[in-house]
Amino acid sequence: MEDTRNLIDEYKGLTNEQVFEALDKTRTGLEIAIENVEHDFNIGSIVRTANSFNVSKVHIIGKKKYNRRGAMCTDKYLEIIHHSSIEDFLKSQENRELVAIENNTPRAQALHDKNFANNTTLIFGSENNGITSDLLEKSQDVRYIESFGSTRSVNVGAAAAIAMYEWTRQNVFD
């Protein structure tokens, strides 16, 4: 029977557990945190992109359920942890650099100037309200993605992809 899952050939024919285990051997030091993102598709999109960059973990802070269709089953191949509170999430982040991707604060600096540490957790928030002030205060660094059109920001799923790529460019390709 043909394996129709959206997998590269190396993983075709393996069980979901075997794919997870194989990816586990080469995971990067990057983790992703999603705080109260309202639109389920955006969460799924971020999870799918996280799988593409083989991140270590995805932390979902606040809202627990989301429409997994946007993830295209990639949520089966990486560790997703739900945290009911910011405090719970922060306990899991000892010895990690928390970098918030947020454009709605004077503290934010341009993403292209960031030198990422290997043990980084990128934090993304709601498109409407951004990252909560509590979590923003706990972040060691805040970055925004430069924009050149009339819109002040890109969609949170696109922002996550851009930031994950930049981390990967610095920590995997170099």
pLDDT of residue 44: 85
Tokens in use for 153?
């920001």
Q: How many CB atoms within 10 Å of residue 8?
A: 7
Q: pLDDT tens, position by position, for the chain (174 residues)?
A: 788 888 889 999 999 999 999 999 999 999 999 998 776 778 888 999 999 999 999 999 986 555 555 455 677 889 999 999 999 999 999 999 999 999 989 999 999 999 999 999 999 998 888 899 999 999 999 999 999 999 888 899 999 999 999 999 999 986
pLDDT of residue 166: 98
pLDDT of residue 174: 67
Fold for the domain defined by 29-171: Alpha/beta knot (3.40.1280)
The closest of 128, 120, 135, 125 to 168, measured between CA atoms, is 120
Sheet holding 79-83, edge to edge: 79-83, 57-61, 31-35, 120-125, 97-101, 141-144, 109-110
